[in-house]
Amino acid sequence: MISNLQGVLSAAAKGMKKSAIRELLKLTKNPEIISFAGGLPAPETFPIEQLIEVTSEVLREDGEAALQYGSTEGDSLLREEIVQMYREKGFDISLENVMITTASQQGLDLIAKIFVDRGDKIICGLPSYLGGLQAFKNYGADLVGIEFDDAGMRADKLDEKLTELKGLNDLPKFIYIIPDFQNPAGVTMTNARRKEIIAIAKKFDLLILEDSPYKELRFEGKEQESLYVLDGEGHVINFGTFSKIFVPGFRIGWVIAHEDIVNQFVKAKQATDLCTSPFVQKVAAKYVQKGYFKENLTKTIELYREKRDIMMAAFDEFMPEGVSWTKPEGGLFLFITLPEYMDSEILFHKALEKKVAFVVGNVFHCNNEGKNTMRINFSYTPKDLTKIGVQRLAEVIKTEMR
């Protein structure tokens, strides 16, 4: 080993940090711990028998191509299926607007690689998805947080901040938004708010990154239109993934954007991994073609609705006064706000002693706030353990309250 590893690291590598969530999850491996921490889909939603059938068909019918290198843009059959899926949602797109990624996390890395120089600003929510914040910071981005209300990112605060930054000749490269069942807050941006955000982006001539891994997981309420559709002029880059609505182990995501932007993603991806696994792409394409995807998604939504309802009922029964939480219409998460004097990081370790886990909320805040918040996942924990876990967590909170 060389004597001075730090001396040869790049500036980017020196600034990289391990994921706070991944490090916390290491502490929850004890099988006795009821974990609301990870953003994990329920294993019972994985269509194993159907995938055995489809995988065998792919290997018999198209094995050589499935096991060979593929194009950077992605398997054409899978892209065609994605185009059709999104046309049904109102997207005016063709194959040239779609590129397959190795999950949407790769998309987050690639967009930073393409657009961010060290010191460039990016607008994000308070709170916002840690994986996105981490990807942007790794390229030296200066993250500027905009607070939320019940309708999502506040348009008035966004306009105010962008006006300030324009005066300093320091406008951001893009605005990062998770509009549907946001991670971690669980809130959904209203159509009216989406239109306000788009108008502001056009006013300042900015791109919007619409990260949408949960949109299909709606349990109730009216579906809101995609920012990509509402814009219609190429200001929005949309990210999707199969990780939360099919199987995370396939690591299949996609970028939908103006053709010129997709071409930039293709060039960046070629230097990263050449292509996403052709084998899993072909399996996914055939799975969708056979109608299994929509069939299984319906069952997943029903299961997650039931799990959310069980958790909401447990919160109503056990949580003390002074604690509030979001009531998501879909997705995987809800967000708890504790009294301001409480620190969820201290609470986390005390909760582990009681065999229950969550994710501390400050890691989702680019301004180091949110110490009195926590993220709770309701999709993974078995239904019969959810109430027990909430009761344990409520007891820890009660003990720590003044």
- Is 353 among the domain residues? yes
Q: Tell me, yes or no, whether 23 and 93 share the same domain.
A: no
- Is 59 among the domain residues? no
CA distance linking residue 347 with residue 393, whole number of Å: 9
Identify residue 400 by its one-letter amino acid code.
E
Q: Tell me, yes or no, whether 249 and 305 share the same domain.
A: no
Identify residue 88 by its one-letter amino acid code.
E
CA distance linking residue 83 with residue 90, whole number of Å: 11
Q: Tell me, yes or no, whether 228 and 281 share the same domain.
A: yes
Please name the residue ranges forming H helices in 88-223.
103-115, 130-138, 155-167, 191-203
- The answer to whether 361 and 184 have CB atoms below 8 angstroms apart is yes
- Is 74 among the domain residues? yes
Question: Which residues have CB under 8 Å from 319's CB, separation 6+?
Answer: 325, 390, 394, 397
Q: Tell me, yes or no, whether 87 and 13 share the same domain.
A: no
Q: Which of 290, 318, 337 is the last residue of a domain?
A: 290
Position 63 scores a pLDDT of 97
CA atoms within 13 A on the CB side of 162: 23
**CATH number, domain at 177?**
3.40.640.10
Q: Tell me, yes or no, whether 124 and 20 share the same domain.
A: no
Q: What is the pLDDT of residues 319-344, one digit of tens each?
A: 999 999 999 999 999 999 999 999 99
Question: Which residues have CB under 8 Å from 295's CB, separation 6+?
Answer: none
What's the whole-model pTM score?
A: 0.95
Tokens of 137: 């910071």
Percentage of the chain lying above the pLDDT 90 cut = 91
Q: Tell me, yes or no, whether 264 and 303 share the same domain.
A: no
- Is 356 among the domain residues? yes
- Please state the φ and ψ torsions of residue 298, each to the nearest 5 degrees: -60, -45
Q: Tell me, yes or no, whether 124 and 201 share the same domain.
A: yes
Is 376 a residue whose pLDDT tops 70? yes
DSSP helix/strand/coil, 150: coil
Tokens of 129: 């998805």
CA distance linking residue 131 with residue 112, whole number of Å: 12
> Which of 209, 214, 144 lies closest to 182 in space, CA to CA?
214
Q: Tell me, yes or no, whether 76 and 189 share the same domain.
A: yes
Q: Which of 264, 290, 316 is the last residue of a domain?
A: 290
- Is 58 among the domain residues? no
Position 1 scores a pLDDT of 80
Burial-class residue 69 by CB neighbours within 10 Å (0-12, 13-18, 19+). Answer: exposed
Identify residue 354 by its one-letter amino acid code.
K
- Is 52 among the domain residues? no
Q: What is the pLDDT of residues 229-262, one digit of tens each?
A: 999 999 999 999 999 999 999 999 999 999 999 9
Mean pLDDT, the chain, integer: 95
pLDDT confidence band for 158 (50 / 70 / 90): very high
CA distance linking residue 28 with residue 189, whole number of Å: 32
- Is 55 among the domain residues? no
Q: Tell me, yes or no, whether 128 and 260 share the same domain.
A: yes
**CATH number, domain at 369?**
3.90.1150.10
pLDDT confidence band for 18 (50 / 70 / 90): confident
Mean pLDDT of the region 16-33:
73
Structural domains of the chain, count? 2
Q: Which domain, by its residues, includes 140?
A: 68-290
Is 287 a residue whose pLDDT tops 80? yes
Q: Which of 229, 255, 290 is the last residue of a domain?
A: 290
- Is 166 among the domain residues? yes
Is 22 a residue whose pLDDT tops 90? no
Position 136 scores a pLDDT of 97
Q: Tell me, yes or no, whether 252 and 164 share the same domain.
A: yes
Q: What is the pLDDT of residues 51-85, one digit of tens each?
A: 999 999 999 999 999 999 999 999 999 999 999 99
Q: Tell me, yes or no, whether 79 and 208 share the same domain.
A: yes
Tokens of 334: 């809800």
Distances in Å between the alpha carbon of 253 and those of 137, 201, 297? 21, 25, 16
Is 208 a residue whose pLDDT tops 80? yes
pLDDT confidence band for 21 (50 / 70 / 90): low
Q: Other C-beta atoms within 10 Å of 19: how many?
A: 13
| DSSP codes of every residue in 166-199 | HHTT---SEEEE--SS-TTT-----HHHHHHHHH
Q: Tell me, yes or no, whether 216 and 304 share the same domain.
A: no
